[in-house]
Amino acid sequence: MGDDFDFNPFDLDTRRNPFSLYARGRREHPVHPHTGLPITSVFRYADVQAILKDPATWSSRFPPPPGVDPENFPEPSMLGQDPPQHTRLRGLVNQAFTPRIIRRLEPRMVDIANELLDEALERREVDFVQALTYPLPVIIIAEIIGVPPADREQFKEWSDEAVANLGNALFMPPPPERLQRLGKLIGEMGSYFVRLAEERRRQPREDLLTGLVQAEVEGSKLTQDEMVRMLVLLLVAGNETTTTLIGNAVLELLAHPDELARLRAEPGLLESAVEEVLRYSSPVQMDPRRATRRVELHGHTIEPGQFVVSWLGSANRDEEVFADGERFDVARDDSRHLAFGYGTHYCLGANLARLEAQVALRTLLARTRSFERTDDEPLPLHPSIVFRGVTKLPLRLVAA
Ligand code: HEM
C-alpha cells in the first residue's frame, strides 16, 4: 500500500485521465481525506451507492461558503434539499418527466437533430458542440418549460454562467465577485421567469411552466421563489450534462473505431451504447454530500459537517460490479451505473437525456458515412471539475 496517493481533481492530467488514480483509489484508498480540506473522496461503487441512498446521514444541504453572510445566501433548489422538503418539491415536477411523456417528444427531437445536421453537413467542418450537442438539449428543455424560441440564446448564456464553476467551490471558496455575479444572474433569471409565469396565469398552455403555476401538491402550492429555483435548476441541470453526454459518445466512438463499426453494423445496440458512454465516460464525475453525524468508513472517521465527494466516474468502473470495467463495450447493456446518481436525488431528466443522446447518435450515424477529428490537439475541458467533457469538438463530417 503506497502512502503517496495524491488525488488532486484540479490537476489537468488527472482531469484528462482520472481512471488509473480512481482504480488505485478503489484498491488502496477507498476513503481518501484531502489534506488541509474538510473533504473526503470516496471511490468504490458500494460506498457511493450507500452514501447516496442515505440522506439522513449524508445531507444535500450545504452551508454558505466561508465568508458568505447566511442572510445573503439563497435558499437552495430541490437538488440542495433533504426529505421532507425535497419530497414535496420533487412531487411537483415528477409527472412532467415520466417515460411516457418523454417518448412523446421523440419526433420533435428527431426533427431538430436533422435540421442541425443539415446545416453541419453543408459546412462539412464544424465545432460539433456548437453545431449539435449544445443546441439540441437547450431547444428541447426550453420547449418543455415553454420558453419562447427567441429567448433561447439568452438562456444558454445564463446556463453557462451558472454552471461554470459548479462544484469547484467545495475545494476552493469562490471569490466574492463570482458570488456577486451568481446573485445577479439568479436575479435576472428570476425576473424573467416571473414575467413568463404571469403570462401563463392569464393564458394557460400545455407546458411545464403552466403546470408549475397551477401546481398544488397535498394542498401546498409552489411559492414564486420555489418556482423560479425549480426552473433555474431544470435549465442548469439539463443542458450542460446532456451536451457533455453526446460529446463524450462521439469521442469514445472515435477512440474505439471497432466499437463504432459494430454500432454502425448493428443499430439495435444504440441504447446499450448510450448506457456504456454514461458508465465509461460519465458526464457528471462527482456528487458531494455533507455528513450529519460522525461516520466510520474503512478505518477513517468523518466528522459531522465534513464533505464527502462520491466519484461517480470511479464507481462506474468498479470491477466488483462491472466485469472488465475499463473496457468500452457498446453491447454491455448494463444500466447499474451511477451516472445519474442514485436514490432520493436520482436524476429527474434521466429518461430525457437518454432519449436525446440516442436520437442525436442515431441521426449522426444515419446521416454520415464517417466523422473524424480535424486535428489531434487536446480539446479544452469544461472548467468545472464536476464535469467530464469538452467545450469544443471540431469534426469533419462526410455525408452518407
Ligand atoms: C446525461 C445527462 C445528465 C446527467 C449525467 C445527469 C446527472 C445527474 C446526477 C448525477 C444527479 C444527482 C445529483 C445528486 O445526487 O445530488 C442529477 C439530478 C438531477 N438532474 Fe440530471 N443529469 C442529466 C440530465 C438531466 C436533464 C436533461 C435534466 C432536465 C430535466 C436533469 C435534471 C436533473 C434534476 C432536476 C436533478 C435533481 C433531482 C433531485 O434533486 O431530486 N438532468 N442529474
Residue with the smallest CA separation from ligand 1 atom 43 is 347
Q: What is the tens place of the pLDDT at every residue in 215-262?
A: 765 566 778 788 888 888 888 888 889 999 999 999 999 999 999 999
Q: What is the tens place of the pLDDT at every residue in 318-367?
A: 999 999 999 999 999 888 999 999 999 999 999 999 999 999 999 999 99
Average per-residue pLDDT in the chain? 91
Can you give the pLDDT at residue 181? 79
Per-residue pLDDT band for 166 (boundaries 50, 70, 90) equals: low
d(CA 135, CA 372): 20
Q: Which mutation among 348, 352, 384 tests ligand 1's pocket best, with the greatest number of atoms within 8 A of CB?
A: 348
Can you give the pLDDT at residue 354? 97
> What number is the average pLDDT over the span 70-79?
82
Q: Which mutation among 241, 275, 285 tests ligand 1's pocket best, with the greatest number of atoms within 8 A of CB?
A: 241
Does the C-beta of 308 come closer than 6 Å to ligand 1?
no
In this predicted structure, the answer to whether residue 1 has a pLDDT above a threshold of 60 is: no
Can you give the pLDDT at residue 221? 73
For every residue of 139-182, DSSP letters joined together read HHHHHHHT--GGGHHHHHHHHHHHHTTTTHHHHSPPPHHHHHHH
Q: Tell me which residue of 164, 236, 229 sits closest to 386, measured CA to CA.
A: 164
Per-residue pLDDT band for 376 (boundaries 50, 70, 90) equals: very high
> What number is the average pLDDT over the span 82-94?
91
Residue with the smallest CA separation from ligand 1 atom 17 is 347
What is the 235 CA–ligand 1 centroid distance (Å)?
A: 10
Can you give the pLDDT at residue 173? 67
Q: What is the tens place of the pLDDT at every residue in 277-330?
A: 999 999 999 999 999 999 999 999 999 999 999 999 999 999 999 999 999 999
For residue 107, cis peptide bond before it (omega within 30 degrees of 0): no
Does the C-beta of 135 come closer than 6 Å to ligand 1?
no
3-state SS assignment for residue 270: helix
- Sign of the C-alpha dihedral, residues 5, 8, 11, 13? positive
What is the 2 CA–ligand 1 centroid distance (Å)?
A: 36
- Residue pair 159/239 in contact (Cβ under 8 Å)? The answer is yes
What is the 65 CA–ligand 1 centroid distance (Å)?
A: 23
